[in-house]
Structure 1
Amino acid sequence: MKISHFHITILFALIGFTACNNQSADSAAEVAIPVSVEDLKPSSIEQTITTTGTVVATKEVTLTTEMSGRYRLAKNPKTGKPFILGDKVEKGQVIVELEDEEYLNNLGMEAKELNLKISDQTYEKQKSLFDKGGVTQSELSNAEVAAVNARDNYNLAKIQLDKMKVRAPFKGVITKLPYYTEGTKLASGTEVVSLMSYEKLLLEVNLPEKYINKIAKGQDVRVMNYTLPEDTLHGEVSELSPAISTETRTFTGKLSIDNDDLKLRPGMFVQGEIILARKDSVIVIPKDVVISNQRGKTVFIVAQGTAEQKQVTFGYENQDKVEITSGLKVNERLVVKGFETLRNRSKVKIIK
């Protein structure tokens, strides 16, 4: 079939029209890349070490009876009812009392108290007479010895009597309270209550060897727990071991945590951040906007509607953010969303 010059002209026109349409579509696709940006401003960053572990109470004790006797649970003066699990107790407060009339009778507290009173009166009388020359030094000394013995016997009886009461040795919270029917005869050495004090908590952690010269006692610590997403507790590095484990290449540290409101409980798993150092008025960006490849670490900024890829150098960094020591300037517009599909010199459209 013979092709005319007219047909050839029409064919080239169609090819050219299709190519122009494809180029227009490619340009439109470039312009349509949406991104979100953030203006870079001077900020602060802390260099931290993140560690985890289980917190324990600073004080913990299980109290047992020192004497035998019939069991009686004391009343909490704040509620007017017998103590229960979770009640707070003050130092020296009686939690459990034992009763034994026979034992009390054998102690003879009233007789010892009366004997002490008489002995003191006798000594004072002899002392007065001695000053007037009415008694000898030997008689005065005998009266003084009798008064001292009476006081010792009375104080010893008070100590023995007090053993019938189980008192809190420190301010704390009742964590265990075995049930006994009131009036049940308990033998000496019976466990009756357990207490914890956790206004201060301890967290023992294993720290990487490379930080042994960077961590020091007294450094601030932030503590978080997943059950307390809105609360951050504070503490400090309280103890550090100078020895490094040959197996794990770590050294042991202890963190003291302030827990005045008792928000954390002993046994909870927490995350701690030890603050090593801090810088102010530096450029800080989110870690998740950094692209790492063979060329190094890069980010995108927007200038005159175009994405520019910048190579950056890190300074301080923590879990979420990093200081940029070179590659970015204050007031540049950092791409924080939509950077995954960008190329250098891509056309961008800024959205909120």
Structure 2
Amino acid sequence: MNFRLVRFFAILSTAWLLSGCGRESTAETVVEQPAKARIVSVAVETLAPLDLAETFTLPATLEAWEDLLLAAEIAGPVRVVERREGDRVLKGEVILRIDPEARKADLDRARAEFDVQRSQFERMTRLRDEQIVSPQEFDDARRNFEVARATLRSAEVALGKSVLISPVDGIIDRLLVDRGEFVSEGTPVAEVVQVDRLQAVVEVPEKDVHFLRVGDQVEVIPARLVGESGATRVGELNYLAFKADPTTRTYRAKVAVDNADGTLRPGMILRVRFLRQSFPRALAVPLYALLERGGQTLAFVEEQGVARRRVISTGSIIGDRVVVLEGLSAGERLIVRGQHLLEDGSTVAVGNH
């Protein structure tokens, strides 16, 4: 064989062998690796039952427990003014006197006449028993005695009315007359405000009125001004209207508020917090832990590093939490962060909440 031809086939064979070896080596290195499982970092909260209360707060205006406009019961000049505006008075204390001297004089005359007529009547009674006087004379004496007794009683009442007294413990908010001023019967002379307890007037919406009962304890929250503590107080619902206001469609309610320290004043604006519903031993979860998918409310719980989906039923929302009626149990580890990335069965790693 020609030496050159032999050499050609030898080179060709060598090239073929080298080419085959290269393909075999490439096939051995292209090996598919199994996909690595995705792990989602989450935070959890262990569920525990709580005693919860759903409340609602309404604005209110303070009013005096009693705001009394006192009027003169008799006509005459104001002789003595014993209290000033702003003074505290006790029930029964004198505020002013209207012509007491004249009324005392009328009473003295009436008492003297009464004594005379009483003696005359007693004398005529003895004479009648002895049949010395006629029945007509006896009847006249009795009638005169009864008139004198009525006149005495009227004079006593008039003297009492000449002294204006406070019917309650309170503060004289206004004096409407001055000493020496003549007043007619029925003229307003003083305004007395009872402030040791007040009442907060509230307009309750229709949707909330059926939650309230007279006697309920409520929380009264004064307005907080600069430098004031605004400490809350306990009040008692003591009135709830049966009929709604035709304009506002709200129901007027009144809450008794203790004001022994005198820091509250009629006319102030404050808030009253009422209890709508209580939920003893309720299971409530953060609103942000829930998902809405396909018209269902979902939550995820962590079980040994795996996320489990739960379809839940919810109730009232209280603050930033919602009461869970069905779907979750106490002791479960609710996923509260990272739940948007999960599906049922996802692998999770629990981090710090």
Check if 1:290 corresponds to 2:290: no
* Partners of 1:309 and 1:179 in 2: CA distance: 79
Q: Deviations over 1:160-205 (max 9, x none)?
A: 333332222344332234684xx54344466542112353515140
Pairwise CA distance, 1:100: 6.6
Quick one: distance in 1 between partners of 2:87 and 2:298? 54
Give 2:106's aligned amino acid.
G
Alignment of 1:153-302 (within 5 A): 153-177=151-175, 180=178, 183-188=179-184, 191-198=188-195, 199-208=197-206, 210-211=207-208, 214-215=210-211, 217-218=213-214, 220-227=216-223, 229-236=230-237, 238-243=239-244, 245=246, 250-259=249-258, 261=260, 264-284=264-284, 289-291=286-288, 294-295=292-293
CA contact (8 A) 1:241 1:251 kept: no
Q: Partner of 1:57 in structure 2?
A: 64
AA in 2 matched with 1:349? N
Q: Aligned-pair distance for 1:112?
A: 0.9
SS state at 1:196 partner: strand
Name the counterpart of 1:40: 48
1:138 is paired with a residue of what secondary structure? helix
Q: For the residues of structure 1 that align with 2:129 and 2:44, how far apart are their CA atoms?
A: 100
1:221/1:235 contact within 8 Å kept:
yes
1:325 is aligned to: 325
Q: Aligned in 2, Cα 1:62/1:243: closer, same or farther, shift over 3 Å? A: closer
CA distance in 2, matches of 1:284, 1:137: 95
Shift of 1:260: 6.1
Equivalent runs, 1:11-90 vs 2, <5 Å? 40-41=48-49, 43-65=50-72, 66-74=74-82, 82-85=83-86, 87-90=88-91
Mapped contact 2:79–2:100 kept (Cα < 8 A) = no
Q: Which residue of 2 aligns with 1:144?
A: 142
Q: Which has the larger radius of gyration?
A: 2
* TM-score, length-scaled by structure 2: 0.65
Return closer, same or farther for 1:139/1:256 CA change in 2, 3 Å cut-off: farther
Kept after mapping to 1: 8 A contact 2:58/2:202: no
Cα pair 1:40 1:334 within 8 Å, conserved:
no
- The aligned counterpart of 2:352 is 349
Residues 64 and 266, structure 2, Cα contact 8 Å, conserved in 1: yes
Confirm or deny: 8 A CA contact 1:57 1:197 kept in the other structure.
yes
Please list the CA deviations of residues 19-57 of structure 1 after superposition, one character each: whole Å capped at 9, or x if unmatched. xxxxxxxx9xx87x8x7967623x433444432221323
Q: Which runs of 4+ in 1 moved over 6 A?
A: 296-311
5+ residue gaps, structure 1, are 1-26, 75-81
The CA deviation at 1:157 is: 2.2
> Structure 1 length normalisation: TM-score?
0.65
Q: Quote the Cα distance in structure 2 between the aligned partners of 1:255 and 1:46.
A: 22
| Aligned twin of 1:9 | none
What root-mean-square deviation, in Å, do the aligned CA atoms of Structure 1 and Structure 2 show?
Answer: 4.2
Equivalents in 2 of 1:154, 1:312: separation in Å? 85
**What are the within-5 Å matches in structure 2 for residues 87-126 of structure 1?**
87-90=88-91, 92-99=92-99, 101=101, 103-104=102-103, 108-126=106-124
Q: Percent identity?
A: 17
Distance 1:108 1:319 in 2: 72
Distance 2:243 2:163 in 1: 44
- CA distance in 2 between counterparts of 1:224 and 1:330 reads 34
Structure 1: distance between partners of 2:304 and 2:134: 113
Secondary structure of 1:53 counterpart: strand
The amino acid that maps onto 2:268 is M
For residue 270 of structure 1, report the CA deviation from its aligned partner: 2.5
Question: How far is the alpha carbon of 1:207 from its aligned partner?
Answer: 0.8
